[in-house]
Amino acid sequence: MKEAFGGTFTLKLLMVFFVVYVTFLGVALNIAKAYRIKNGVINILEQQQFDINDASRTNDVNDIIYAYLYKIPYKVSSETISDDCKAAAKEAGDSAKYQSDNGVCIIQYPGNYYKVTVYMYAEFPFLHISVKLPISGETMSMVK
């Protein structure tokens, strides 16, 4: 009887460690995807010489970003991050402009450079935990 209990306990312990390992691996892959998205958006902004004040160019760049995010796929809606983006823009200063389209927050800072923030959501339904992780980076200074 002792061997049956020990074998069952070992199997259950192994299953718990396997679930923890797979969960950790899934979260790590999602974080890597968020960093790849952030870097891709920054590259698009720098290559297109993005200017948040030029409405016609902004729409063209937003279309390019949307096409890029459609290929990834990145499924964070703008409604869920708009409050965070607005709060980050207020921290940047009163003159900072921002936009939060396609789940990507772009904030213009003085000196004509932009901060790009994307979000990664990790949900653990069996523990009823949801974590929102902002990942951000900055562009080089844009020349007008």
CA distance 82 to 95: 18
What tens digit of pLDDT does each residue of 39-82 get? 999 999 988 888 887 777 788 888 898 889 888 877 777 777 87
Mean pLDDT for the stretch of residues 75-95 = 79
**Percent of the chain whose pLDDT exceeds 90:** 21
pLDDT on residue 86: 84
What tens digit of pLDDT does each residue of 131-143 get? 888 999 988 876 6
pLDDT on residue 74: 77
pLDDT on residue 37: 92
Mean pLDDT over the full length of the chain = 84
Q: Which residues of 112-123 are buried (b: 16+ CB within 10 A; e: fewer)?
A: bebbbbbbbeee
pLDDT on residue 66: 87
Residues 6+ apart with CB under 8 A from 80: 103, 119
Cut 0.85: pTM above it? no
Contact 117, 96 (CB under 8 A): no
**DSSP secondary structure letters along 113-135:** EEEEEEEEEEEETTTTEEEEEEE
CA distance 81 to 21: 29
pLDDT at 1 over 60: no
CA distance 78 to 100: 6
pLDDT on residue 48: 87
Residues 6+ apart with CB under 8 A from 42: 116, 137, 138, 139
What tens digit of pLDDT does each residue of 118-133 get? 988 877 777 788 888 8
pLDDT on residue 44: 92
